[in-house]
Each structure stands twice: as C-alpha cells, then as structure tokens.
Amino acid sequence: MTEPRPVADPCPFPEPSAAPDPIATGRRAFLARAGVLGLALAVPPSLAGTPAYGASASAADPLEELVAWLRPQLQRLAFDTFSGVAAFCVPGPDLYSLRQIEVRPEAGGVATKTPQFLMDTMDRYLPLPDSVVVPLLTGGTRELGSLPTPLPRSLRSVGLGRAQRLDEALTLAIENDEHIPASIVIALLLNVTASVLTPASLFRLGFDSPFARLRYSEKAGVFADLEGDEPSVVAALRPLIGDFLADELRSLIRFLAMAMLALPSDGMYSEQSTYDRAARQLVRRPAGWDQTRYLPGRTRPPDGHPELLGYYQGRTEVA
Amino acid sequence: MRDVIVVGAGGGGPVVAAELAGRGLDVLLLEAGAPHDNPAEEWTHFENDAFNPADGYFRVGPQDRSRPAWIRDQPQNSYVWNVTGVGGTTLHYYGNSPRAYQGAFAGYEGADRSAYDTAHAFPFGYAELVPYYEWVEAVLPVQTAPMGRKERVFFDGCEALGLPVQTTKDTHGVAFRPQENAILQPQGTAGRTADSSLLHYPQAQGCTFCGFCAQGCRSPLDAPRNLVAKRSTDNSYVPMAVTASAWSAAGRDATLVTDAFVTQVHTEVRGGERVVTGVTYRTNDDRDTVREDGRVVVLAAGCVETPRLWLSSGLPNPYDQVGRGLTDHHLDWVVGTFEKDTGASRGPASAARAEFPGYGCIEQGGLPPALQAFSMSFSGGGIRGQYDLGRGKRGAWDGVSGRLRGSELKDVMNNGIDRMLSLLVITADDVEAHNRVRLSPLYPRDEHGSPARVELDGARRSAATVRRRDYLANRAAEILRGAGAKKVYRIDWAPLILHTQSSMRMGADPADSVLDATCEARGVKRLFVADNSALANSLGGPNPTLTTQALATRTAEVIFSTYFGGDPWVRSESPVPSTDPRISAAL
C-alpha cells in the first residue's frame, strides 16, 4: 500500500538551463488533474532540466532517462488510484477506506491485494486501441486542462520547464510504447474526472491520486459520470477529436467503468490473493472465504458434498 | 480433401462431427483453443484461476495461458463470457437442457401467440425438431436433476406462489420443475459425502454435488472422460467423434486439431454458384499456416467468431444480415438473503427452474463467492443508493434496482454465501438488427484478421423485451419471498453476453436471415452453420444449448443426405449414448 504523502512539497530543483517553448497552460492543468504533475515534485534534479548546450553526444539522453524514471512513477500513481477503487468497491480498515469515510472492520479490497490484481488483469486483458488513447493523452488533453477549474498553488508553482520536461517524457512514453498499459490510462481517466467533478480533490493532502482523495459519494459521482450519457472527458474532447472518436471513447469508457466496478469482486472474494499458481494450491484461506463462510475450514475445495436430498416428488424422469 | 471440415469444438460443432464420423465420413474438427485433455492437471476448483479474463484456463484465448487473450471489442457496458477450447462454452455451462418454447416456431397457434417474436420465428414447426431433441437427450444424456437444499428452497418459493409442477419435457404453460440437465444423476457415494477418498469412480458415479460446474466438471475422480458427470461436449460428443469406429460399424474416427485458429473460408464459383472449398488456419502458436480443402464446411465457432470469420473472409453478405440479430436473453439477476442454510454454493449450479411462456424463464443459480459478488456488481442501472442512470426500477424487490457496492455488498456477502439464493432471469428477447457482431473499426488487424466487435447496448432493447424482463424479475422476487427471503435485490444486469443466439440466424426470408431452413448458407453452397448463431431467435427464453445440438443433429442429416448420398437416421435408428463403454475403452 502506498503511504499518503503531502503534495505541497517545496520545489528544490533549478529550472532547466535552456528555455523550451512554454507548455500550454491547458496541458499543464491536465497533467495536474491526472495526478502526473504531482510526480514532477519528485523528479531527481539530474533529470529535471534539459541538457546543457555542448554536452557530450555520447552521454545518455536525459529525456530517455526521464522516461525510464517516469514509467514506474506512473505505475505507482496507478496503484494509488486503483487502491481508491478497491476501497470504494470493497472497503476495509485501510487508509483508502478511511479517506473515503466508508470503513469496515474486516479486511477489504486493499488488504486482499486487489489494486495490483486489477492493474495486472486490466493490463493483460485490455490492449487499449492507440487510435483513441494516444489523442486522449497527448494533444487532446489541452481541452481537458482548459476546463474551468483552479489549480492549487503547490502545482501552479511547478515550473513551466519541469512541467514541459515531464510532458515530453509522458508523450514519448505514450507514443513509443507498443501498448500503453490500460491501468495507467484508466488511472489518468479516473483522476482527471475526479478533479474536474471535485476540484477540491486537487487541494486535499494525502495520496498522489486525486481519485483516491475523494469521499465515497464523490467517487460514486465519478462513476456516475463515466457511465453516463456523455462523460465529462468526452464532452471536453468532442469538439477537438470529432464525433467518431468521441463516440468510440465514450463507449470504451463505459466498458472500463464496468470493469472497474465489477472486477474488484473477484479480487476480494476469489483465491487470487493467497494462491500459489505453481503449486496450484492456497497458502492460506482467502479473507473473502472467511467473511462469507465459504467451504468452512478448508483450503482445498472438496470433490463433493453430502447434499443430495432425493428427487422432487420422487420423480427421476419425465417424458 | 476432407469430406467435412467443422470449425469449432464447442456446443454444436462436435455434434455434427460425431454424427457424420459415425456415418463414416472423413471429418476434420478444428478448435482454436486448448485441447483440455487433462483436466485433473489443468483445472482447479478456484474461481480466478478459471475465469480471469486475461489468463484464466476458461477464457477466450490460445491454449498457452502466457499468451494474450483474444480481443473482444465491446463498445458498451457489457461482458462477453465465452470460452475457447475443446468443449467451448459448454465447459462452464450448467448443463441446463430445456427444450425451446413452441411459440418460437412457425405455425404456432397457441392463445399466447402474440407474446412471441413471431417476425423472427424458426422457419419450421416445433414438431419438426422434437425427434432431434429426443435423439440428443438420449445421446448426452439429459436427465431429471436431483434436489439439494437450494432446490428445496426454490421449490418452497414456487409452491408458496401456487405454481403448478411441470412433469414433461415440453413446456405447455406456466410451471416450475427440476431442471432437465445434461448431468449424470448421482449414484453410489456421489452426493452423499465430502470425503474425497470415497468419491472415486466407480464407487461414485454421476454428479458428486461438488458445486464447481462452472470451473469445468471432472467428477467423479478417475472417471473415464465420457463418464464425467456434466455432459459438456469435451465429455460427450468430442469423445464420440474421435472414437466413431468403436461405437459405429460404419464409423471413422474424426480428426481433432486444437490450437487451430481458422482465418479464412475459401470459396470458388462453380456452374454459376459460389461453393465453399476449404479453410486456412493458423497453428503451432500461430507460427504455421495450414490449408485444408473440404467438400463441406461447417462453421461452429460461436455467435461471435462465426460472423467474424464470415466477414473477415469476405463472404457474401447481400442483405447485411451477417452478425445481426444477436440475442442474449437480456439476462437479469435477483438475489435473496435468508436466515437459514440455502446450500447455494453446493451441488449442481442450477437444478431447478420455472417456466413463463411468452415471457421467458427463471432458474436458480448457486455460485461460489467471487462469482456471486461479481454477479451483484454488474449492472446497467448504476449503484444502489448512489445513482441509477435513469433506470432505477421498483417492484417486488427491496428498494431500487442496481449494483451493490461498498458496505452494502459486504453486508450481503458477510451474511454468508450459503444464506442467499440467486435467480437468473432469462428473457425472451426480440431479434433486433442493431444488436450485432461486426469487425472492429477500432482495433487493428492481427494475425487472425480484424477482431470482433460485439454491439449490444442494454439501454437499447425493444419495449417488449424490457416488459418481459420486468415481469420475470417481479416473479423471481416473489419466489424468493415465498421461500422466506428476508431481503431481495434486483441487480438489473448490464448485458452479460452468456447465452448468445441468432447472429447468423436461419429464417424463411433472405432479407432478414443468413441461413436457409436447413442451416445452409444462402449464397455459399456446402457451407453450413451449426452453433447458437444459427438459431432463428432466442427460443422464447429457454437455455439454448440443447436446441443448438438438436438443430446440429438435423444439419448433420441434411449434409449426409444432400451431399453424400446417405439416408437420414434419426427417425429410423436408435442413438448410441455418449456414455457407451465402447467409447470409454477406445479413449
């Protein structure tokens, strides 16, 4: 589980030595809403700036290094976001459930490793179509960023240069990766929607993910938006990407929302969190089995039950 | 040159393969997925291991579980729940084998005739299919289901409502009954113990009440494959097909090739007619491409893959009917919680049902916990108490319909998996052209061609379909209350595309069907379809597999008599059951 940490860190990094073209304001706002701009605060100083003029041509490309640094950070952001989803669907006594003010005394989705389960399942099951995802996460996001929502001062203070570098790295990762992991796309989608519907999520301290900072009813509002006639993200993008792609994006979002709301049940109540796949057996009983009193006392499912009561009205066959 | 090439070893293809192999034809049976020839080593009773859509052993994908699943483009809130591999979707089905309602067929003159989708009726009368039903019921075999606790609870509810009992295979009116299941009845120690040491064949025979129908049946322990309790085609028709010489004097063993994804159906023009000539498939983990020629080709890859293959192959589609008219029974789920043991997770997954001709039917379903929680998390109507997408329905259940999430879900689950009972609403849904399978406009082509797109929006169903479904959901809630449920929830499922029918439908009118009344394709001679996609409609509600298998038997007769000079046999011979000891020995 990712520990919550404040987003309002002071900025210790110098601005890049060469000034690139300024990043579009809307794009920077998108990065903030997606939870990505917060990552800029943790960019190592050596990766924060553009290479000095006259640097050795043989030196490693700093942008490539930044991309390499960014990928696991995006995974961490996705994990944070999916932890918020798991707590929403099957709450427990964890910090994510606490933050949404919907807590249960017994183990929930976070304790049963549902966030990682969701990410793994989505990444392997759903190769998202580049034709929709790349425009969504690159040029099209200016529209999302320009939605009328103020940004917190902590993120406004992220230097334009650093935001630009991060954006370049994100764009490079998106455009170069064979398939963008679905989990990252979904996490960005949830975070953008969360921050658009609940701007206060950007100002709240705690998790990296704006979605994970929401209260329970606010999270429900995100899913209501995603399952609705025209999700906020689609409405913002439609003028830019056209009706065909907008309709496709809307359809895809509805499918993803279904998956986000349904799959945590498998994460919580199946054997996945305690299963040794190589040995094809459980290492201990899953929490979901204990909570539902399924196969009491067993770690190995039985081959039968003494359940036969006979035949209704004694009839063993019909004509 | 093969006599017959069958594409797909799911619910229907193996029927054609076994019947024609029994007649001595040279049959090639191609299956894209895994052989599933060693269940004891490949399968478990665990839910995620079986059903994970990415790498579960029952998924839509290649046999190598480390390779990616095959794409199903679903542009809506839905889940297509098919299975690839020998046995196809019968691997996880419940074996429920009711006959169709008579109103789904041409010539029906019952008083409730107007209650059916008569515009898309089968192009022949119900009586035409009865001998084929009887044949398949004997081959599988289909038997009256025994009763466990959850069936007793369901029957209590039906009795409380005053519903009559049905004691025939044919349905003539509103009634409840034990399922007619393609599951061998328990004998010996089966159903009487949880001690695995006592559940080996032959001490135990038939259903052991293990509760894992959906994870693949391999009970009793050590049973010969053709004597495993559930009669999925991996246990019944496929063993028959590959041992035809053992049980039929004229028989010739069919050739089964797995890991064989068909990518192209070949045709040529002969004498002014387009005629099928064979297929190309990819095998050896997609490294090799093989061409096979056949005198007849039978497509039986399922309601999604058969139209995809047709369209991907560029076969004729003059009326734009290929893939259209997909029906799914517009399934819904009604759950009751109890303060007593219902035995919901034990025994065959569904062994009791209620018939409501003109509307559809209801069956009880017992699930293990992850599936049960999933079933209550999957809705087209939002989250109870939070939002309803304009669909919040009220009725005989508590509150509004919608999915359970958060503390409400946990409260229901923590009440105990065996202190609830769930009823599946199986609606007589109308054939609607906009519900369809087509080639995805979004995903790029891969080594198999363009992926399939399944378009079936739960919010765009005909008014009659919605009315029938609401009626059945109310009856389901009443049955649960009659059985003593303390609280009843209606989930209002999004399309769980599990019962798929009619995407290559047969019909009388070329303008709204793909196949003629013999299931031969219009526009391509010698090309037949023998899976659920050939069904003309959703049968009025009953589960489709038995009807598909009866129709496939009829199709086999047509192929044999039309193209190989043989005589029909169903009305003149006695069937060999798939449990025949000669098959066991040959395996």
Over its C-alpha atoms, chain A yields an Rg (Å, rounded) of 23
Q: Which residues of B touch A274 (CB under 8 A)?
A: none
Whether pLDDT at A4 is above 80? no
CB contacts of A129 in chain B (<8 Å) are: 442-444
Identify which of B166, B169, B347 has the shortest CB distance to residue A305.
Answer: B347
> What pLDDT is recorded for position B166?
98
- pLDDT computed for residue A70 by the predictor: 83
Quick one: what percent of chain B has pLDDT higher than 70? 100
How many structural domains comprise chain B? 1
Residue B539 lies in a domain: yes
Residue B460: inside a domain:
yes
Q: If you average pLDDT over residues B202-213, what whole number do you get? A: 98
User: In angstroms, what separates the C-alpha of A120 from chain B's closest C-alpha?
Assistant: 9
Among B410, B456, B457, the residue to mutate for chain A (most A Cβ within 10 A): B410
Domain assignment of residue B133, yes or no: yes
Within 21-80 of A, beta carbons closer than 8 Å to B belong to: none
Degrees, nearest 5: CA angle A27-A214-A139: 15
Answer yes or no: are the C-beta atoms of B298 and B409 closer than 8 Å: no
State whether residue A313 sits within 8 Å of chain B by CB. yes
Residues of chain B in contact with residue A306, where contact means CB-CB under 8 angstroms, are 191-194, 209
Full domain range(s) for residue B22: 2-183+230-253+326-434+454-582
Residue A290 touches chain B, beta carbons under 8 Å: no
For residue B560, pLDDT over 50 is answered with yes
Phi/psi-derived region of residue A168, left when phi > 0, alpha when psi is between -120 and 50, beta in every other case: alpha
Question: Cβ contact (<8 Å) for B212 and A301?
Answer: yes
- State the nearest Cα–Cα gap between A88 and chain B, in angstroms: 6
Which among A135, A142, A143, A88 has a CA at the least distance from the CA of A110?
A88
**What does the pLDDT read at residue A205?**
84
Please give the single-letter amino acid code of residue A73. Q
Report the 3 state secondary structure along B234-301: CCCHHHHHHCHHHHCCCCCCCEEECCCEEEEEEEEEECCEEEEEEEEEEECCCCEEEEEEEEEEEECC
Per-residue pLDDT reduced to its tens digit, B508-531: 999 999 999 999 999 999 999 999
Question: Residue B292 corresponds to which tokens in the numbers above?
Answer: 């096979």
Identify which of A23-37, A60-74, B391-405 has the greatest average pLDDT. Answer: B391-405
- Chain A's closest residue to B134, CA to CA, is A319
Domain boundaries, chain A: 25-274
Residue of B422, B536, B565 whose CA lies nearest to B488: B422
Contact call for A302 and B194, based on CB within 8 A: yes
Q: What is the pLDDT of residues A262-284, one digit of tens each?
A: 999 999 999 999 999 999 999 99
pLDDT over threshold 60, residue A149: no
Contact B407 A104 (CB under 8 A): yes
Measured CA distances, B393 to A118, B218, B396, B462 (Å): 30, 41, 10, 17
- Cβ contact B167–A106 (<8 Å): no
Q: Is A9 helix (H, G, I), strand (E, B) or coil?
A: coil
Whether residue B144 and residue A318 make contact (CB cut-off 8 A), yes or no, is yes
Residue B173 has pLDDT above 80, yes or no: yes
Q: What average pLDDT does range B149-166 have in this prediction?
A: 98
Q: Is A12 on the interface with B (CB under 8 A)?
A: no
Write down the pLDDT at residue A16. 37
The pTM of the full predicted model, rounded to 2 decimals, is: 0.94
The reply to whether omega before B141 is within 30° of 0 (cis) is yes
- Kindly report, residue by residue over B264-322, the tens digit of the pLDDT: 999 999 999 999 999 999 998 889 999 999 999 999 999 999 999 999 999 999 999 99
What CATH code is carried by the domain that includes residue B128? 3.50.50
Residue scoring higher pLDDT (A3 or A293):
A293
How close A14 comes to chain B (CA, Å)?
Answer: 43
Q: Is the dihedral of CA A311, B348, B499, B143 positive or negative?
A: negative
Size of interface A-B (CB pairs under 8 A): 250
Place of tokens 């765009």: B460
pLDDT at A223 > cutoff 90: yes
Neighbours of A19 (CB within 10 A): 11
Split at pLDDT 50, 70, 90, the class of B468 is very high
pLDDT of res. A11:
32
What are the angstrom distances between the C-alpha of B365 and each of B319, B351, B421, B497, B540?
Answer: 40, 8, 7, 17, 20
One-letter amino acid of B226: N
Averaged over B441-468, what is the pLDDT?
94
pLDDT in tens, A34-84: 777 777 767 777 776 655 444 444 456 777 788 888 888 889 999 999 999
In a domain, B205, yes or no: no
pLDDT confidence of residue A18: 40
Do B49 and A317 count as a contact with CB atoms less than 8 A apart? no
A208 touches chain B (CB under 8 A): no
Contact flag B48-A275 (C-beta cutoff 8 Å):
yes
Q: Give the residue with greater pLDDT, A261 vs A129.
A: A261
Nearest CA in chain A to B390: A228
Tens of pLDDT, residues B345-387: 999 999 999 999 999 999 999 999 999 999 999 999 999 999 9
Share of chain A above pLDDT 90, in %: 50
Contact B148 A251 (CB under 8 A): no
Query: What single letter denotes the amino acid at residue A160?
Result: L
Whether the predicted pLDDT of A14 surpasses 50: no
Burial (Cβ within 10 Å: 0-12, 13-18, ≥19) of residue B111: exposed
List of chain B residues whose C-beta atoms are within 8 Å of the C-beta of residue A256: none
- According to the model, what pLDDT value does residue A237 have? 85
- Region B464-474: mean pLDDT is 98
The two structure tokens encoding residue B405? 């999430």
Check CB contact under 8 Å for B146 and A90.
no
pLDDT at A143: 61
A287 contact residues in B (CB cutoff 8 A): none
Q: Nearest-CA residue of chain B relative to A228?
A: B389
| Per-residue pLDDT tens over the stretch B62-102 | 999 999 999 999 999 999 999 999 999 999 999 999 999 99
The whole-number pLDDT of residue A167 equals 75
Q: How many angstroms separate the CA of residue B207 from the nearest CA in chain A?
A: 8
End-to-end CA distance of chain B: 26
- The residues with which B290 forms a beta bridge, in sequence order, are B281
